[in-house]
């Protein structure tokens, strides 16, 4: 969706407009952070709304309709905050600031090239309108979480419907359960992009649940499941970048989950899931017992399913045996004895109906 500058909008007027908007946006970010800490500050909230309304009006006067429509979506969500149906919590504030950055970026692009693709702006603006319509509902929180992830990674879903889908039919579901449903839906979308198998992460969860009883230390299963769903966040964009960027991808899920109340352990598991028992992993080069057992398990599951996928021509049982042998060979290098032992028993339970190779086969 390419938008070109109107013929009667001269470059000087555009430059003056963009400079003024940049100055306004510079004031909005600290105002948002202030509101996150002081949600009862009506004066600051009203000032924020007026600032956005002015930006929208100036854009509309210059016939930059995709941009004014975008700001309208931002403005409507602030209206809902004023009415008490939304609040600038940590996640919504972070999402809002990223959305303002998108406005900066596209305005600068328009000034440099006299045209730009506004599909992402339109999609984001519609999502903010949808959030405004849903208020405090779990569906609004789902939409905010999804939008934050897309803004954080730069992978904007321009085909996303401008509605707030309900997370679950069960209205009695707790917030953590609702969040897990959202994490699972996000994982299915990611799996389609990076492996073509939308069930990949659910298969990992099934195998993890079979392994948990055989591990020597207790792991919060809910935190582990969340980490399994979210640990590859950012992989779809990092895969095409340099190795250094790929090495940093664990931080994407880590920072995202830290912003979600109650998922600190899941965040740590995501950060550590590429560490190796011998200290040769990344990003922190942790080793042995400094690596959380849950992160070790996620690493082993990742390796198992990657190896299993190397044998699409074999029956599932034989492919699983081959994958397990490869995992066993990593004993003492990538994985601990405890994790390898639990993985062997879990694979036997889930995939095999006969005796699996003993550890000595490694």
Q: What is the pLDDT of residues 267-276, one digit of tens each?
A: 999 999 999 9
Residue written as token pair 């908007």: 21
What distance in Å separates the CA atoms of residue 203 and residue 191, rounded to the nearest whole number? 11
pLDDT score for 111? 92
Whether the predicted model's global pTM rises above the 0.75 cut: no
Where does the pLDDT of residue 244 fall: very low under 50, low under 70, confident under 90, or very high at 90 and above?
low
pLDDT in tens, 181-214: 778 877 877 787 777 777 788 889 989 999 999 9
Domains annotated for the chain, with CATH where assigned, are 2-153 (1.20.120.160), 175-361 (1.10.3210.10)
Return the structure tokens found at 54.
């002015």
Is the pLDDT at 107 greater than 90? The verdict is yes
Instruction: Give the pLDDT confidence score for residue 246 in this predicted structure.
Output: 64
Tally of CA atoms within 13 A in the half-sphere of 62 that contains its CB: 24
Instruction: Label residue 271 exposed, middle or buried (CB < 10 Å: 0-12, 13-18, 19+).
Output: buried
Distance from first CA to last CA of the chain, Å, rounded?
A: 55
Name the nearest CA neighbour of 54 among 37, 78, 87.
78
- The larger pLDDT score, comparing residue 13 to residue 241, is at 13
């Amino acid at each position: 969706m390419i938008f070109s500058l109107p013929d009667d909008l001269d470059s000087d007027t555009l430059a003056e407009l963009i400079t003024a908007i940049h100055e306004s946006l510079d004031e909005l970010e600290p105002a948002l952070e202030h509101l996150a800490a002081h949600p009862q500050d009506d004066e600051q909230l009203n000032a924020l709304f007026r600032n956005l309304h002015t930006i929208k009006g100036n854009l509309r006067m210059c016939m930059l309709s995709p941009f004014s429509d975008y700001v309208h979506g931002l403005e409507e969500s602030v209206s809902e905050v004023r009415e008490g149906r939304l609040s600038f919590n940590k996640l919504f504030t972070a999402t809002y600031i990223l959305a303002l950055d998108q406005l900066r970026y596209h305005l600068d692009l328009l000034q440099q090239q006299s045209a730009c693709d506004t599909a992402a702006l339109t999609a984001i603006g519609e999502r903010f309108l949808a959030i405004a319509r849903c208020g405090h509902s779990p569906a609004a929180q789902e939409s905010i979480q999804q939008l934050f992830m897309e803004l954080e990674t730069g992978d904007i879903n321009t085909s996303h419907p401008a509605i707030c889908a309900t997370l679950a039919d069960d209205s009695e579901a707790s917030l953590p359960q609702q969040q897990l449903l959202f994490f699972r839906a996000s994982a299915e979308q990611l799996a389609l992009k990076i492996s073509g198998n939308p069930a990949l992460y659910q298969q990992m969860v099934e195998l993890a649940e079979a392994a948990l009883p055989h591990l020597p230390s207790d792991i919060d299963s809910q935190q582990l499941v969340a980490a399994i769903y979210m640990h590859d966040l950012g992989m779809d964009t990092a895969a095409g970048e340099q190795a250094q960027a790929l090495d940093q991808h664990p931080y994407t899920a880590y920072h995202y989950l830290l912003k979600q109340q109650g998922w600190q352990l899941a965040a740590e598991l995501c950060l550590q899931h590429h560490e190796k028992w011998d200290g040769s992993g990344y990003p922190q080069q942790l080793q042995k017992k400094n690596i959380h057992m849950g992160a070790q398990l996620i690493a082993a599951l990742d390796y198992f399913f990657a190896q299993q996928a190397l044998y699409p021509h074999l029956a599932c049982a034989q492919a699983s045996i081959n994958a397990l042998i490869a995992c066993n060979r990593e004993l003492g290098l990538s994985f601990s004895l405890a994790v390898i032992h639990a993985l062997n028993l879990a694979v036997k339970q889930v995939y095999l109906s006969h005796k699996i190779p003993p550890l000595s086969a490694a």
